[in-house]
Structure formats: structure tokens, C-alpha cells
């Protein structure tokens, strides 16, 4: 293979301006109406950068192995382009089309240049197809990766949203947990509870699991570890709202709740918290209220 | 794949402090969260102390890892001490020969994502731990 | 620096750990504190570890020892200011320091010591008359 003449790189450098012109024109034509998209100038720049990298890489690498370091610049540029385009609302197939639309232009040029030598022509069509297909697939991978990043970010944002640590009274925090607790969510929730304890200086934190349908061993252990960690920091945790099924699970799993305070309801736990802070709640009558107002 | 590495001696209890500092710096560079930084430096402290107290001193190799977009820190503690006779027993919570709490090895394992130990009587001990971001 | 300073505040001793603790430093602190409890007739000890970025089994054991020894010497120990990440890690390591009393900060720790000591004093005077 190595001693065979390499038509593609030569073609790319010889007809650089022409390819760039027709390719960018093609891109602009393909742009979906109504979408903001990137500016014409940026698009032209992206096309130029990519063509340069493609020319260099195909010049240096006879194996067409996209994983090799020679293709790194081309991959990097394509990654940037994919990111930029998807930021402007392009779909993964739009971005792949960006690469694939180069085929027709290159094929036409190959036809003009070497159309009279069928064997060479067939070989070059094949090589070019291979390279562009791989690069097109690569953009799809990048697009997928971008989606995954977005999903991961949204997940972590949701985790944060789903961990509202609320202040019930001076020195009393509550963490009402709702929904299924998996190990990761429990960990995040617990970390934010401990951070809030430090920030507010609250001596008592109530973890209410009324809204939690089931608890597995790992989650039960996370809860216990949080209680232990809070104690090391100098705060007390009360777990409230343990439903009968969960109590049964905890006993069944053999998890030792030890000397952790547990209460049936958040109200019971709050009453304990007030008592620990030497506070009492008293009922008053309208007459007494009027009297104290005078 | 290790993208950076450095080797440090562990010959005194001051060296343990230096190793902890370097591990923390690397953990921060690798983008580990505060809780994960704390876990790996605590594991470091336990293992570096073992190297110094039971292994009669040794070295630690710090490696910054990158693998498929994941970042991590790998530490390899090595000594040419007497080695550990019964690894299963040594890994148990509360088992100690040195008058400590016996939480060094088992605790370090709990604080790491990956843990490997290799010990030969009369030749020495090597412990490798990894914590990922 | 090979020793951590111990401050005397009335009936209490205050230790603020501000350096990376190596093992010898921890041992020295344990010794110095027990000596000082006796020589200063201290009734309480506050150990502020809010500056520590980790507590391993050695430091954990030292804290436990100080608490037990001071109790024998009739002084209460309160460890204050442990950071969340440090606390989570210590629990994961397998240490929950059952014999050690804790508080969120120095102020709370001080209140806790005062409360404990006044209860003792009240009980003492109930049976033996006012000791002070």
C-alpha cells in the first residue's frame, strides 16, 4: 500500500479553495430554516480547519487508522465542531451529515482527476468512503458523549434539588426524604445534611423517611453511618416516619439501629428536639392572648 | 493509564505527613471530591504508617490515572519488612500485632475503590489502592 | 514544632490542633494533656479539631485515650469541630469513638462542659454539702 500513490491528500491540497467553497455552500443550503444555527463565517472557518487537518492526516497516515496519533488533530477539530454545532441545536445526524456531505464533492473531483483509470478510481473512492464514514461515525460518538454529559449534569442537579434540608426551629434541621433511595442518592443527601449542620450550627437533625417506600441494607447502613458521622461532629440525628414494612425490613436484614433515636412521626421527633433545646409549646386561649397584648 | 507519577520515601512519621500532603495535592489535581480526597488521604495515613512501623520503612508510588474519561489516584506502598504471615487474618477488623486498633488494612480497603495486597514472609509487603473520581 | 500548646480557660483546658499531626506529636499531646489536667486542676478539656483535614485510626485512638484518661482524672473531654468529610471517613474506617463526647464548635463544647460540671456539683452538694 505504502508505495501506491496517494491521490486524496494531493487532491485536497490542489483543489483546497474549490472544495471549501462548494462544501460550505452545501452546508449553508442544508441549514434548516428557522433555526438560529452558527454564523456563516464560523461555518466556513470550521470547514477550513477540518479540511486542513484531513489533508495533513491523510498525507501522513497510509493506514487510515483514525485511532492513531496522526489523526488526533482531525479528531480534536471534529470534536470542537460537534460541540459547537450541537450547542446551536444540531442533531447527531445533522453533525454526521456535515462530514458525509463532503463525499459527493470529493467523488466528483476524483472522477475528473482519475476517472480514466478505473482501478485507481475505485480504490480511491473506497479509501475516501472509509475515511469519511469513520469520521462521520466519530461525530456520532461525540454527540452521544455530549448527551451523556448533559444527562449526568441533570442527574446531579436533580439530586441536589431532591435534598431539601429545612430548618424547623433554631438549632433543629429536618430532611424529609421522598421517593426511592439508592445508595448514591442517600450518600449525596447525607453529605448535604452534614454540611448544613455545620453551616447552621444545628444540634439536632431529623431525617424523616415517611415518603420512602422501601429501604435496603445498603441504604439502611448509609442512614446509620450518617447518624454516626453527625454524632462525631457533635449533632444528634433522629430518624422519624419509619413505616411498619421498613421496620420489618430493618429487623429482617439484621441491621442494628443501636442507640439511634427513632420516632413514629416527624411531629414526635420535633417534640423531642424542642425538649432537648429546653423549649415548650403551650396552648393559649383568646382571653390570655388579649391579656398579653395589653 | 498513569499520566503522572512520583515516588516518595517513608522512613519517619514526618514522612507520613509529607506523603499525605502530596496525595491530597494529587487528588485535588485529579478532581476528586472533598469526601473522596479525605478518604484517600486517610487510607494513605494508615498504609504509610504500616510501611513505616511494621515494614521498617519503604516507599510509596503516587500515580495520577486517566482511563476512558475517568480520573483517579493509585498508590503503591512497598516495604522490604518481615511480611505478613496470614493475610486473611491481617485483613480482619480489630486484628493487630502492633498494639494499634487493627483497622489499618481493613479500613484502608473500605476507603478505596480498588485494593490489592501482596506479601511474602521475609521479603516484604506491597499494597496498592485506587480511588476514582 | 513538637508540641501543641494547651491553653487554660478557668476550669477548662483548650487545645486547638492546627498542624498536620504526625504520630509523635499526637503522643506528646496525650502526655502533656494528662499532666496539665492534674497540675491545673482542670475539670474539662476541649479539643478543637476543626482545622484537621483527616482523622485516622491513630489520631482517633489518641482522642479516645485522652477522653478515658481525663475521665479517670475527673475531667470531662469534649472533641469539637470535626468536619463532615472527616466524620464520614472516620465512620467508614470503622471508628465511631463511642466514649468521646462531641460538640459542633468551641462555644457549644463549653456549654456542654459547664452543664455537666454543674450537674456533678449539684449532686455532690446534695449529699456532701457545698464543695466550693
Task: Report pLDDT digits (tens) over B87-122.
Answer: 888 888 877 766 566 678 999 999 999 999 999 998
- Quote the pLDDT of residue A87: 80
Strand, coil or helix: C101: strand
**Using the beta-carbon criterion (under 8 Å), do B41 and C92 form an inter-chain contact?**
no
- Quote the pLDDT of residue A2: 43
- DSSP at A68: S
Residue of C52, C89, C98 to mutate, testing the B interface (most B Cβ within 10 Å of its Cβ): C89
**Using the beta-carbon criterion (under 8 Å), do B103 and C20 form an inter-chain contact?**
no
pLDDT at residue C36 is higher than 90: yes
If one counts the domains in chain C, the total is: 1
A198: nearest CA partner in chain C: C104
Q: Which of C85, C91, C102 sits opposite A234 (nearest CB)?
A: C102
Please state the length of chain C: 132
Exposure of A271 in the CB half-sphere (CA atoms within 13 A): 8
Whether CATH 3.30.565.10 fits B2-132: yes
pLDDT at residue B68 is higher than 90: no
Question: What is the distance, to the nearest Å, from the Cα of residue C4 to the centroid of all Cα atoms in its chain?
Answer: 14
Which pairing describes strands A261-263 and A236-240: parallel, antiparallel, or unpaired?
Answer: parallel
Residue of C21, C49, C53, C56 to mutate, testing the B interface (most B Cβ within 10 Å of its Cβ): C56
Count Cβ atoms within 10 A of the Cβ of residue B85 and give its class: 0-12 exposed, 13-18 middle, 19 or more buried: exposed
**Using the beta-carbon criterion (under 8 Å), do B103 and C94 form an inter-chain contact?**
yes
Count of C-beta atoms within a 10 Å radius of residue A127: 19
Q: What is the rounded CA–CA span in Å between residue B14 and residue A192?
A: 34
Chain B residues near residue C89 by CB distance under 8 angstroms: 35, 38-39, 42, 111
- Quote the pLDDT of residue A1: 42
Q: Which CATH architecture has domain A166-276?
A: 2-Layer Sandwich (3.30)
**What is the mean pLDDT of the segment spanning C14-32?**
90
**Using the beta-carbon criterion (under 8 Å), do A201 and C91 form an inter-chain contact?**
no
C58: nearest CA partner in chain B: B100
Q: Which of these, C15, C20, C8, C43, lies nearest to C113 by C-alpha position?
A: C43
Enumerate the domain spans of chain A: 7-156, 166-276
CA–CA distances in Å: residue A181 to residues A162, A206, A229, B36, B92 = 11, 17, 19, 21, 30
Residues facing residue B128 across a β-bridge: B76, B116
Which residue ranges in chain A fall short of pLDDT 50?
1-3
**Using the beta-carbon criterion (under 8 Å), do C93 and B93 form an inter-chain contact?**
no
C21: nearest CA partner in chain B: B17
CATH of the domain at C59: 3.30.750.24
Q: Do C59 and C100 meet the contact criterion of CB atoms below 8 Å apart? A: no
Strand, coil or helix: A263: strand
Count of C-beta atoms within a 10 Å radius of residue A167: 12
Enumerate the domain spans of chain B: 2-132
Show the cell assigned to A117.
483509470
Q: Which of C22, C61, C86 sits opposite B17 (nearest CB)?
A: C22
pLDDT at residue C126 is higher than 90: no
- Quote the pLDDT of residue A211: 87
Q: Which fold has domain A7-156?
A: Globin-like (1.10.490)
- Quote the pLDDT of residue B33: 92
Instruction: Write the DSSP assignment of B77-120 as a string of letters.
Output: EEE-SS--S-HHHHTSTT--SSSS-S-HHHHHHHT-SEEEEEEE
C112: nearest CA partner in chain A: A234
Chain C residues near residue B20 by CB distance under 8 angstroms: 20, 54
C55: nearest CA partner in chain A: A232
Q: What is the rounded CA–CA span in Å between residue A214 and residue A181?
A: 8
**What is the mean pLDDT of the segment spanning B37-63?**
94
Chain C residues near residue A233 by CB distance under 8 angstroms: 82-84, 87, 102, 104
Which helix (DSSP H) or strand (DSSP E) does residue B6 occupy?
Answer: strand B2-10
Q: What is the rounded CA–CA span in Å between residue B108 and residue B131?
A: 11
Mean per-residue pLDDT over chain C, rounded: 89
Chain C residues near residue B38 by CB distance under 8 angstroms: 53-54, 85-86, 88-89
Which helix (DSSP H) or strand (DSSP E) does residue B63 occupy?
Answer: strand B58-67
Q: What is the rounded CA–CA span in Å between residue C1 and residue C25?
A: 9
Please state the length of chain B: 133
Residue C1, domain member (yes or no): no
**Using the beta-carbon criterion (under 8 Å), do A233 and C96 form an inter-chain contact?**
no
Q: Which domain holds residue C65?
A: 6-128
A231: nearest CA partner in chain C: C102
Q: Do A85 and A146 meet the contact criterion of CB atoms below 8 Å apart? A: no
Higher-confidence residue of A41 and B59: namely B59
Strand, coil or helix: A89: coil
B27-31 contacts, C-beta under 8 A, 24 or more apart = B27/B73, B27/B131, B29/B64, B30/B64, B30/B65, B30/B71, B30/B72, B30/B73, B30/B133, B31/B71, B31/B133
Q: What is the rounded CA–CA span in Å between residue C81 and residue A213?
A: 35
**Using the beta-carbon criterion (under 8 Å), do C104 and A195 form an inter-chain contact?**
no
ipTM of this predicted complex?
0.89
Residues 6+ apart with CB under 8 A from A183: A218, A219, A222
- Quote the pLDDT of residue A4: 60
- DSSP at A4: S
Amino acid at each position: 500500500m505504502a508505495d501506491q500513490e496517494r491521490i486524496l491528500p494531493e487532491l485536497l491540497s490542489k483543489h483546497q479553495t474549490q472544495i471549501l467553497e462548494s462544501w460550505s455552500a452545501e452546508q449553508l443550503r442544508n441549514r434548516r430554516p428557522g433555526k438560529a444555527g452558527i454564523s456563516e463565517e464560523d461555518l466556513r472557518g470550521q470547514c477550513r480547519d477540518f479540511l486542513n487537518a484531513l489533508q495533513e492526516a491523510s498525507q501522513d497516515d497510509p493506514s487510515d487508522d483514525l485511532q492513531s496519533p496522526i489523526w488526533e488533530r482531525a479528531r480534536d477539530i471534529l470534536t470542537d465542531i460537534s460541540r459547537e454545532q450541537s450547542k446551536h441545536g444540531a442533531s447527531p445526524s445533522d453533525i454526521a451529515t456535515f462530514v458525509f456531505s463532503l463525499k459527493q464533492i470529493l467523488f466528483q473531483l476524483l472522477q475528473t482527476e482519475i476517472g480514466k483509470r478505473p482501478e485507481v478510481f475505485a480504490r480511491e473512492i473506497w479509501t475516501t468512503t472509509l475515511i469519511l464514514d469513520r469520521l462521520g461515525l466519530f461525530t456520532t460518538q461525540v454527540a452521544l458523549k455530549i448527551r451523556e454529559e448533559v444527562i449526568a449534569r441533570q442527574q446531579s442537579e436533580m439530586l441536589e434539588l431532591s435534598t431539601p434540608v429545612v430548618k424547623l426551629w433554631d438549632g433543629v434541621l429536618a430532611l424529609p426524604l421522598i421517593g426511592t433511595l439508592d445508595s448514591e442518592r442517600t450518600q449525596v443527601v447525607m453529605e448535604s445534611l452534614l454540611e448544613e449542620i455545620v453551616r447552621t450550627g444545628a444540634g439536632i437533625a431529623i431525617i424523616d423517611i415517611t415518603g420512602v417506600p422501601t429501604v435496603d441494607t445498603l441504604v439502611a447502613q448509609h442512614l446509620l453511618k450518617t447518624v454516626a458521622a453527625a454524632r462525631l461532629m457533635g449533632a444528634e440525628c433522629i430518624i422519624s416516619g419509619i413505616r411498619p414494612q421498613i421496620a420489618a425490613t430493618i429487623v429482617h436484614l439484621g441491621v442494628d439501629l443501636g442507640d439511634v433515636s427513632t420516632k413514629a412521626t416527624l411531629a414526635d421527633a420535633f417534640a423531642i428536639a424542642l425538649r432537648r433545646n429546653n423549649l415548650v409549646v403551650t396552648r393559649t386561649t383568646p382571653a390570655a392572648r388579649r391579656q398579653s397584648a395589653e | 493509564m498513569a499520566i503522572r507519577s512520583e515516588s516518595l520515601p517513608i522512613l519517619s512519621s514526618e514522612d507520613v505527613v509529607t506523603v499525605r500532603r502530596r496525595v491530597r495535592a494529587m487528588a485535588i489535581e485529579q478532581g476528586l471530591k472533598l469526601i473522596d480526597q479525605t478518604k484517600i488521604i486517610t487510607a494513605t495515613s494508615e498504609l504509610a504508617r504500616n510501611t513505616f512501623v511494621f515494614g521498617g520503612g519503604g516507599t510509596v508510588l503516587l500515580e495520577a490515572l486517566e482511563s476512558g474519561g475517568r480520573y483517579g489516584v493509585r498508590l503503591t506502598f512497598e516495604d522490604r519488612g518481615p511480611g505478613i504471615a496470614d493475610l486473611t487474618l491481617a485483613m480482619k477488623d480489630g486484628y493487630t500485632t502492633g498494639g494499634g486498633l487493627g483497622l489499618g488494612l481493613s479500613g484502608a480497603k473500605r476507603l478505596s475503590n480498588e485494593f490489592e495486597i501482596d506479601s511474602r514472609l521475609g521479603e516484604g509487603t506491597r499494597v496498592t489502592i485506587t480511588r476514582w473520581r | 514544632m513538637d508540641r501543641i500548646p494547651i491553653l487554660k480557660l478557668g476550669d477548662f483546658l483548650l487545645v486547638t490542633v492546627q498542624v498536620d499531626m504526625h504520630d509523635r506529636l499526637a503522643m506528646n499531646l496525650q502526655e502533656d494533656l494528662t499532666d496539665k489536667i492534674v497540675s491545673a486542676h482542670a475539670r474539662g478539656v476541649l479539643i478543637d479539631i476543626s482545622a484537621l483535614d483527616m482523622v485516622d485510626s491513630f489520631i482517633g485512638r489518641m482522642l479516645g485515650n485522652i477522653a478515658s484518661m481525663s475521665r479517670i482524672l475527673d475531667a470531662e473531654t469534649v472533641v469539637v469541630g470535626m468536619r463532615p468529610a472527616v466524620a464520614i471517613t472516620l465512620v467508614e474506617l470503622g471508628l465511631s469513638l463511642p466514649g468521646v463526647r462531641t460538640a459542633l464548635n468551641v462555644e457549644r463544647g463549653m456549654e456542654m462542659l459547664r452543664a455537666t460540671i454543674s450537674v456533678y456539683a449539684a449532686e455532690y452538694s446534695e449529699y456532701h454539702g457545698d464543695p466550693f
